[in-house]
Structure 1
Amino acid sequence: MSQQKSDYAPDTEIDASLDELPTDEAIGRAVENLESNGFDVVVVDSAAEALETIQSHVPAGASVMNGHSTTLEEIEFMTYLSEGDHEWESLPDEIWSIEDDAERQAARREAQTADYFLGGINAIAETGELVAADRSGSRIGAYPFAASNLVIVSGVNKIVPTLDDALDRLESVAYPLENERAKEAYGVDSAIAKQLIFRQELEEGRTTVVLVREQLGY
């Protein structure tokens, strides 16, 4: 049985002030500054529209990989990638079918260079920066350069006023929730071991941020 956010989120202490739905003005500032920093931005109203955006954005024949993302689970992308009617090469299915540990790890590293890598983010500053962290780096390793194309999906609840607020959100919202998930899923604590501040995308059209007007992920 797959794990749900509701299994652990209600009992996890977070700074709720950094997980609220922002005003339309705040969303507009974030979009404007993200676009000024080289990111393509698509704003949608629902999880279903976010999945439709991905379906239309990723071309047939592309190799597709993802990092763990509660948001991708919530918009049902993970189910669609594994079981849906598409013409993509699903790298996660290939990777997790490999029985040898060393071969599987090598395939995970190679998958960082997928045609399209999808993932979430831990915070978005209205000033136009993205903040994310991993314990292993298997997600954010692809974000800055390795993947040919990057699609980041985020609920607008991750928008906060400044970069300092974004870093605070990582520590006081995303980490506590991810730590509880990791303990439930893997029996180990998580860690903010490898951290990324994505300030600019210099390759035109490479990185698309899909903002969903819902409270998604953490």
Structure 2
Amino acid sequence: MSQKENYIAETEIDASLDELPDDETIEEAVANLEANGFDVAVVDSAADALETIQSHIPAGSTVMNGHSTTLEEIGFTEYLSEGDHEWESLPDEIWSIDDDADRQAARRESQTAEYFLGGINAVTQNGELVAADRSGSRIGAYPFAAGNVVIVSGVNKIVADLDAAFERLESVAYPLENERAQDAYGVESAIAKQLIFRQELEDGRTTVVLVREQLGY
């Protein structure tokens, strides 16, 4: 059993907000995301998602990611650190800094990377993205700071509307992320900073990769 499966087995969540939707639901969400200015790629597997990202980011780009279980599951986190690419990996640079203040300053500066990748906690059928974070380091780049944003999500995060998105955040994403945070960092997580990304107004800036698998929290 994987670590994620252990969290799910040990944590009470609303499983009805973490199911794989039918094709019609996915198609409606995609159409509305595109109407809201997001570029969308729908892929069948985690491997396809990684290949999509690899082909999307030009050589020589500065690349940063916020923590994302989904990015870990598709193999992107490992690929960014150890893979055969021609990008500048900002996480490797940041975590090589010994001084705490300098490292924190570098983390803030990395929000303006040419490509910033991360996950999301819910996607509404109306084409809205909802995410929350304890520190804000995962979602701070999404609205404006990064040159380009790539958000990867399993289709299990598609919900009917914003009310369902907030419910998913509280009853699925937070309980599971809280378990992970306590294991990884020894502290509880928190829904401290929340983002509703309704529209992308800059053509081609934000791409949403939807994977037809149950991924992430």
**TM-score normalised to structure 1 length:** 0.98
Q: Using the alignment, how far apart are the partners of 1:137 and 1:78 within structure 2?
A: 19
- Runs (4+) of structure 1 moved beyond 3 Å? none
User: What corresponds to 2:205 in structure 1?
Assistant: 206
Q: How far 1:84 sits from its partner (Å)?
A: 0.4
How many residue pairs get aligned? The number is 216
**Per-residue deviation, residues 73-111 of structure 1 (Å, max 9, x unmatched):** 000001100000000000000000000000000000000
Q: CA deviation at 1:163?
A: 1.2
Partner of 1:26: 25
Which whole-Å CA distance do the structure 2 matches of 1:9 and 1:97 have between them?
A: 33
The alpha carbon displacement at 1:145 in A equals 0.3
Counterpart of 1:10 in structure 2 is 9
List per-residue Cα deviations over 1:118-171 (Å, max 9, x = no partner). Answer: 000000000110000000000110000000000000000000111111111011
Equivalent position SS for 2:84: coil
Alignment of 1:113-152 (within 5 A): 113-152=112-151
Q: State the AA in 2 paired with 1:172.
A: S
How far apart are 1:8 and its partner, in Å?
2.0
SS at match of 1:8: helix
Give SS of 1:185's match.
helix
Q: CA deviation at 1:7?
A: 3.7
Aligned equivalents of 2:22, 2:161: Cα separation in 1: 15
CA RMSD, 1 decimal: 0.8
Q: Which runs of 5+ in 1 are unaligned?
A: none
Q: SS of 1:152's equivalent? A: strand
Q: Could you list the runs of 5+ residues in structure 2 that have no partner in the other structure?
A: none
Identity of aligned residues (%): 82
CA distance in 2, matches of 1:163, 1:25: 19
Paired residues for 1:1-218 under 5 Å: 4-218=3-217
Quote the Cα distance in structure 1 between the aligned partners of 2:77 and 2:195. 23
Q: CA deviation at 1:6?
A: 2.7
Distance in structure 2 (CA, Å) of the matches to 1:124 and 1:15: 16
